[in-house]
Amino acid sequence: MAKTKTYFFCQECGYQSSSWLGRCPECGRFGTFVEEVVKAESGKRSVESGKLQSTPKRIDEVTYDERRRLATGIGELDRVLGGGIVAGSLLLLGGEPGIGKSTLLLQMALSLSVEPVLYVSAEESEEQIKMRADRLENGKREGESGLYVVSETVTGRIFEHIEALKPRLVIVDSIQTVTSEALEGAAGSVGQIRQCTSEFQHYAKSTGVPVMLIGHITKDGTLAGPKVMEHIVDAVLQFEGDRSYGYRMLRAGKNRFGSTTEIGLFDMTSGGLREVAVPTQFFLSSRSEMVTGATVAATLEGSRPLFVEVQSLVSSAVYGTPQRVANGFDLRRLSMLLAVLEKRCGFKLAAKDVFLNIAGGLRVTDPAIDLAVACAVLSSNVDIPLSPHIALAAELGLGGEVRPVTRVEQRIAEADRLGFDTIVISRYNEREVDASRYGIRIRPVAMIDEAMRLLFS
């Protein structure tokens, strides 16, 4: 008979304890422990000597069949995955509700070249999925589809369907709404998520069939509840963007089969997600007039240059504490840049509200955007517009020094190609650039106050 045992799990970080605790020793949160019953399978078997299944091998004796990758039919998704889905892999697609996770994977399922594909939805009915597919551009196609959909929430029954259909790929929407009978406790609890994820991992590893899980993300950007899931899966993809815009960005937070630097860009249209394969100019507003507080940053996301417009508004604080608001940029980084401006450029920003926005709802992590952020703030503060034909590419240091960035030539070449007339870079990047190859004027600066004098006087 299976023994049952109860454990207490922190619902935030998954910390396991045999007794209830008021405060989690792992993540420090209060009142997060919930009791969950674990049906213990027969106890752990001890390893008898001489019966080992595995033996250590020399690394050059280890062979593998050139792991076959399955192209998803969506170029931007393949790019983030590192060239398609690896056989037997378990992938997690995370994102805020309504961002387009179900749409992306349904669209992918419809464009896959293998069949059958099983789309398990624990959130929507089969009719709802069909209605969504009909709205998608690639949903209306001739002939029979290799995509099967089923609305099911219990993993045991999902595996029965899998057994019967023998799919080549399984999609589960979402991991927070499926439950395993091996465990008591509501769907979405840490124990359930951990259990269900391991069941799908076991299935993927033992059969070689890739499984894609959808997971919801809380407001602060963590996968709701379980950090535990991130350790089990092979790759975590994050789907993000501002829901009031159409742009969506796909990043890999973890990827065992590729790099995590590449991003995928999409545009959400009435016919589903459309790929943005040449994104360079996508996030530049087509402004011709001189506007104060707007600058252009020459950033790189993965291997692709991405030119984005930074917009800032600096105004006198109406209320006691000045506001600092940043969209698409790290707020702490903004505070740091403001402190640098205050110290090195003599601006009294302490009594000012500062709003910062990256056009298009994009989140930029490339530090080369620093100079554009600082100059946007300065431009709004002094009320002097910067020409839209100037691009900026440099990081800022705490001492106000304008620091070099990676692959500056690639940024310069792209700015030149896009018709910018000037690019401001760090003096320390200057020597690696052969300026004679470009028509664009290259202005190297060493300190932020030097950049300020160059641009605003």
Question: Which residues contact Mg ion (rule: CB under 5 A)?
Answer: 102
Round to whole Å and give the CA distance between 267 and 246: 5
271 binds, among Mg ion, ligand TYD, none (CB under 5 to 8 A by kind): ligand TYD
Q: Among the candidate windows 73-81, 249-257, 266-274, 383-391, which touches ligand TYD by CB under 6 A? A: 266-274
* Least gap, CB of 99 to ligand TYD (angstroms): 4
Q: Which is closer to ligand TYD, CB of 176 or CB of 311?
A: 176
* Least gap, CB of 401 to ligand TYD (angstroms): 42
DSSP per residue over 231-275, as a string? HHSSEEEEEE--TTSSEEEEEEEEETTS-S--EEEEEEETTEEEE
* Candidate residues 156, 271, 350, 453; the one interacting with ligand TYD per rule CB under 6 A: 271
Tokens describing residue 184: 């008591």
132 binds, among Mg ion, ligand TYD, none (CB under 5 to 8 A by kind): ligand TYD
* Least gap, CB of 174 to Mg ion (angstroms): 7
Q: Which is closer to Mg ion, CB of 148 or CB of 347?
A: 148
Q: Which is closer to ligand TYD, CB of 110 or CB of 364?
A: 110
Cis peptide before 116 (omega within 30 of 0): yes
* Least gap, CB of 243 to Mg ion (angstroms): 13
Q: Which is closer to ligand TYD, CB of 226 or CB of 272?
A: 272
Round to whole Å and give the CA distance between 432 and 138: 46
Q: Which is closer to ligand TYD, CB of 237 or CB of 349?
A: 237
Cis peptide before 174 (omega within 30 of 0): yes
Burial 343-382 (b: 16+ CB within 10 A, else e): ebbebebeebbbbbbbbbbbbbebebbbbbbbbbbbbbbb
Q: Which is closer to ligand TYD, CB of 139 or CB of 167?
A: 139
* Least gap, CB of 394 to ligand TYD (angstroms): 36
Backbone angles phi, psi at 37, to 5 degrees: -95, 130
- Collapse the DSSP code of 80 into the 3-class scheme (helix H, G, I; strand E, B; otherwise coil) and give the result: helix
Tokens describing residue 158: 């999902």
Total of residues contacting ligand TYD (CB under 6 A): 15
Q: What residues does 248 pair with on adjacent strands?
A: 266
* Candidate residues 74, 108, 136, 340; the one interacting with ligand TYD per rule CB under 6 A: 136
Q: Which is closer to Mg ion, CB of 74 or CB of 424?
A: 74
268 binds, among Mg ion, ligand TYD, none (CB under 5 to 8 A by kind): ligand TYD
* Least gap, CB of 178 to Mg ion (angstroms): 13
Nearest CA-CA partner of 407 in 381, 387, 433: 433
Chain centroid to Cα 399, Å, comes to: 31
Q: Which is closer to ligand TYD, CB of 138 or CB of 261?
A: 138
- Collapse the DSSP code of 435 into the 3-class scheme (helix H, G, I; strand E, B; otherwise coil) and give the result: helix
Strand order in the sheet with 90-95: 147-151, 117-121, 169-173, 211-216, 90-95, 235-240, 247-255, 263-269, 272-275
Round to whole Å and give the CA distance between 233 and 214: 12
Which run of H or E residues covers position 202? Answer: helix 190-207
Round to whole Å and give the CA distance between 175 and 82: 23
* Least gap, CB of 209 to Mg ion (angstroms): 22
95 binds, among Mg ion, ligand TYD, none (CB under 5 to 8 A by kind): ligand TYD
98 binds, among ligand TYD, Mg ion, none (CB under 5 to 8 A by kind): ligand TYD
CB 410 within 8 A of CB 389: no
* Least gap, CB of 249 to ligand TYD (angstroms): 13
Q: Which is closer to ligand TYD, CB of 100 or CB of 264?
A: 100
* Candidate residues 10, 77, 112, 268; the one interacting with ligand TYD per rule CB under 6 A: 268
25 binds ligand TYD, rule: CB under 6 A: no
Nearest CA-CA partner of 152 in 135, 139, 165: 165
* Least gap, CB of 355 to Mg ion (angstroms): 32
* Least gap, CB of 97 to ligand TYD (angstroms): 5
Q: Which is closer to Mg ion, CB of 95 or CB of 400?
A: 95
Using CB under 6 A as the binding rule, the residues of this chain from 65 to 104 that contact ligand TYD are 95, 97-103
Q: Which residue is it, tokens 């690696």? A: 432
Which residue's Cβ lies closest to Mg ion? 102
Strand order in the sheet with 422-426: 324-327, 352-358, 304-316, 294-301, 390-393, 422-426, 441-445
- The binding site for ligand TYD (CB under 6 A) comprises 95, 97-103, 132, 135-136, 268, 270-272
